[in-house]
Chains A and B, each alone.
Chain A
Amino acid sequence: MAARGRIRVAAAQGFWGDWLEAPLRQVTGGPIDYLMMDYLAEVTMSILQKQKSRDPTLGYATDFIPAMERILPLLAERGIKVTANAGGVNPRGCAQALAEATRKLGLGKKLRFGVVTGDDLLDRLDDLLGAGHALRNLDTGRPLSDVRDRVLAANAYLGAAPVVEALRRGADTVITGRVTDTALTLAPMIHAFNWSPEAWNLLAAGTVAGHTIECGAQCSGGNCLVDWRGIPDLANVGYPIAEASPDGTFEIIKHPGTGGRITVAGVTEQLVYEMGDPTQYITPDCIADFTTIRLRQVGKDRVGFSGVAGRPATDKLKVSIAYFYGFKAVGTLVYAWPEAYEKARAADRVLRERLRQLGLQFDAIHTEFLGVDATHGPLTRDAAHVPDIAEVQLRVGVRAPDRAPVERFTREIAPLILNGPPSVTGFAGGRPKPEEIVAYWPALIDARVVQPRVDLVEA
């Protein structure tokens, strides 16, 4: 346990694909009370929905199971609880897989899992639309009926409440579907400190803590720009831990002896990450005001948070909808010195002329020259200032509603090796593959039509 009255919530995954070593290191590196694992990004739900349609036992973040297998005995021994949105579009399937792993480890009698569902609106969409919920796109204002027949996934963002309920009912690990990233950190605090559902400042503080650690090491030295050279031992970077007090203050720390760094400047980089209006960080639990946060370096690798103010939650929930849009493909070739950039540009002109002659219809053809303009575009593209660099990668992408023109495009890259400008290489990866585009449709829905459900499963 942490210092008296406090709890430690440790972040161990910032997205599906994050460092496989992090969960074990968070459990073994020092005392923690809760392990928080965030697996879901906007795009992830549609990928999972696709996997589930091919195999009904899938649809969850499969990395979660082997990660848990490594730490389950320690979790049971130390009474560490887990909150994870690894359930994706199949939280029950995820819980079953975890229960099986738990039994194999001989821990079947010792652990109980909470399963949070109710976020998945896919099967309810027609009823909801019929009842007058237009699910208008937050960015474009268009009603969902525009793309209804192409919808692949639709999930409401649930808040902390059902996770808290699962913890109260004795769950050792809570597996959820689309629960907000911040709720996975806030819920343990509400549970441990018995915060009232209308204690807006406290809920906002827990939400800020959640935002700070939800991207894992991105607040403890990873992807940190300020003094990046001086950040020690990123090979052994310590993932962040929120050490929270009942009064809503908390400190962001990491285990002793780990790499990385926790400073006011580094933590601030994470606070502004993916931020909208900072006075209105809206979650199902509250509205947090990021302009009220007070930060203080209270020790080495220890940043204190105080002053966080919050306001009542809205009566809406955000809905993340994914729909099939079309196809895209990206082809690359590498051109070598001398005049690498000019050769790559000449190749792009040849390619575009051939695509034009073929009469292929695309929504977009996009060319980048890696080494010149791929990341900062027109800010660095000015040819007069491009030095004669060692090599340039030509990268051309196309997008279309139909597969055929995209497929044809993929066959126009390789020929350039023999019939285009010289000094070209780097086609070892083979012909690019057309990729399905799943587009994102953000919407709002009345919170009262979404009923979270909590089930407890014995391993």
Chain B
Amino acid sequence: MDSPTFWKPVAMNTNDDIEKQEDIFSNSSAVATPSASISGLSKSNCKFAWRDISYAVDTPSGKKQILQTVSGCVEKGTFSPLL
């Protein structure tokens, strides 16, 4: 069997929309100085972040909280699992 190689993304030069999105990643002015604080996600070097995500559903026995103020982030070029 062939040995799988790790997938390496390359710039897509055939889709204008995707190319515009590339600018988001390469625009350093949109990223403030690094910070290790989760509460300061918007000022960290995280490329994709979520902050205080909560989710509740109504059940016959009342409201059930599925997620409560969950925060996290992933950085460019990393493989990050949800644990």
A binds B: no
Residues of B within 8 A of A (CB): none
Residues of A within 8 A of B (CB): none
